[in-house]
């Protein structure tokens, strides 16, 4: 949406034009809702649409833009279906940046970033979220730790924290905008990877309970707790 004002015209991206015309069978004169992370959500009318081209006329702004608090999800790459699920759930639960990781036990190193971005876009549309999360290129765990900003916590879900003699001194209720959540692969992080995490002062080890969870289940559980912590922090600051 280059111009956000009633009566303004905005072109449709080719993919969106094809989706509206071919999949949804929309025609000129039909009303649609469109969103943009910087301009908000608008009610618009299709001016014209044909194959992969079209344009809209903005009618009324329905919601002002409300940028979500920054939330990074660093997750070990999983098999295709599980990775797709992580993108969908993460988008619904407020992730603003996805960082796929390659760890010792990662079972795949290949990823189609365009496809994952499309999944995040679809999930954002379905949950009426106005911004699209960023999906980064996969990187090694050591690369993530070397580039992580030390003024933000990285909550690391480490299995059996009590068995490792860990007594977390922070919880998800302490989460702040810009913090991140790290979830390991199926089979868990290796001992060497756990030690590398615990050696960093910005890493906060957290437990997701006494049971061993599937990686995608751990993502949903950890993000739900972290999102709740972020909301509590926002409420206290208002």
Q: Is residue 92 assigned to a domain?
A: yes
The predicted structure's pLDDT at residue 51 = 84
Torsion of Cα atoms, 114 then 115 then 120 then 124, to 10°: 90
User: Does one domain contain both 229 and 138?
Assistant: yes
* Residue that is last in its domain, among 19, 36, 63: 63
pLDDT tens by residue, 149-197: 999 999 999 876 555 445 566 789 899 999 999 999 998 999 999 999 9
User: Does one domain contain both 159 and 226?
Assistant: yes
pLDDT tens by residue, 76-114: 999 999 999 999 999 999 999 999 999 999 988 889 999
The predicted structure's pLDDT at residue 5 = 85
User: Does one domain contain both 122 and 140?
Assistant: yes
pLDDT tens by residue, 194-221: 999 999 999 999 988 888 899 999 999 9
C-alpha 17/C-alpha 176 separation (Å) is 38
The predicted structure's pLDDT at residue 40 = 82
pLDDT band at 41 (very low <50, low <70, confident <90, very high): confident
User: Does one domain contain both 168 and 224?
Assistant: yes
User: Does one domain contain both 55 and 146?
Assistant: no
* Residue that is last in its domain, among 63, 87, 103: 63
C-alpha 78/C-alpha 110 separation (Å) is 10
User: Does one domain contain both 50 and 91?
Assistant: no
User: Does one domain contain both 106 and 49?
Assistant: no
User: Does one domain contain both 36 and 77?
Assistant: no
Distance of CA 89 to the CA centre of its chain: 8
Bridge partners (DSSP) of residue 43 are 33, 60
User: Does one domain contain both 33 and 84?
Assistant: no
* Residue that is last in its domain, among 24, 42, 63: 63
**Contact assessment for residue 72 and residue 95, using Cβ atoms and an 8 Å cutoff:** yes
The residue segments making up the domain with residue 21 are 9-63
Q: What is the CATH number of the domain that holds 29?
A: 2.40.240.20
**How buried is 223 (Cβ within 10 angstroms: 0-12 exposed, 13-18 middle, 19+ buried)?**
buried
The tally of domains found in the chain comes to 2
C-alpha 193/C-alpha 188 separation (Å) is 10
**How buried is 137 (Cβ within 10 angstroms: 0-12 exposed, 13-18 middle, 19+ buried)?**
exposed
pLDDT band at 52 (very low <50, low <70, confident <90, very high): confident
Q: Is residue 57 assigned to a domain?
A: yes
Whether residue 237 has pLDDT greater than 60: no
The predicted structure's pLDDT at residue 167 = 53
**Contact assessment for residue 157 and residue 172, using Cβ atoms and an 8 Å cutoff:** no
User: Does one domain contain both 35 and 115?
Assistant: no
**Segment 13-31 mean pLDDT:** 87
Upper half-sphere CA count for residue 234 (Cβ side, 13 Å): 12
Q: Starting at the earlier edge strand, list the strands of the sheet with 40-50.
A: 9-11, 53-63, 40-50, 31-36
DSSP H/E element including 15: helix 14-18
The predicted structure's pLDDT at residue 64 = 84
| pTM > 0.85 | no
User: Does one domain contain both 88 and 49?
Assistant: no
- CA-based nearest residue to 229, from 181, 187, 197: 181
User: Does one domain contain both 21 and 106?
Assistant: no
pLDDT band at 236 (very low <50, low <70, confident <90, very high): low
The predicted structure's pLDDT at residue 2 = 56
Question: How would you classify residue 164: left for phi > 0, otherwise alpha for psi between -120 and 50, otherwise beta?
Answer: alpha
53-63 and 139-140 strand pairing: unpaired
């Amino acid at each position: 949406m280059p111009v956000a004002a009633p009566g303004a015209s905005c072109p449709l991206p080719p993919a969106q034009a094809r989706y509206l015309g071919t999949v949804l069978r929309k025609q000129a004169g039909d009303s649609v809702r469109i969103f943009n992370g910087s301009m908000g959500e608008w009610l618009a009318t299709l001016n014209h649409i044909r194959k992969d081209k079209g344009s809209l006329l903005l009618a009324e702004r329905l919601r002002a833009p409300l940028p979500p608090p920054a939330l990074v999800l660093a997750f070990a790459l999983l098999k295709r279906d599980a990775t797709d699920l992580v993108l969908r759930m993460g988008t619904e639960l407020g992730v603003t940046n996805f960082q796929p990781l390659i760890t010792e036990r990662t079972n795949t190193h290949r990823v189609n970033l365009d496809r994952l971005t499309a999944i995040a876009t679809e999930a954002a549309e379905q949950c009426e979220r106005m911004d699209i999360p960023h999906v980064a290129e996969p990187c090694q765990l050591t690369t993530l730790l070397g580039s992580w900003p030390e003024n933000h916590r990285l909550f690391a879900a480490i299995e059996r924290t009590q068995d490792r003699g860990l007594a977390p001194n922070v919880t998800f209720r302490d989460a702040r905008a810009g913090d991140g959540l790290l979830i390991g692969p199926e089979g868990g992080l290796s001992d060497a990877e756990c030690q590398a995490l615990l050696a960093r002062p910005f890493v906060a080890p957290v437990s997701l309970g006494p049971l061993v969870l599937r990686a995608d289940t751990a993502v949903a559980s950890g993000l739900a707790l972290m999102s709740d912590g972020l909301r509590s922090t926002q409420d206290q600051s208002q």
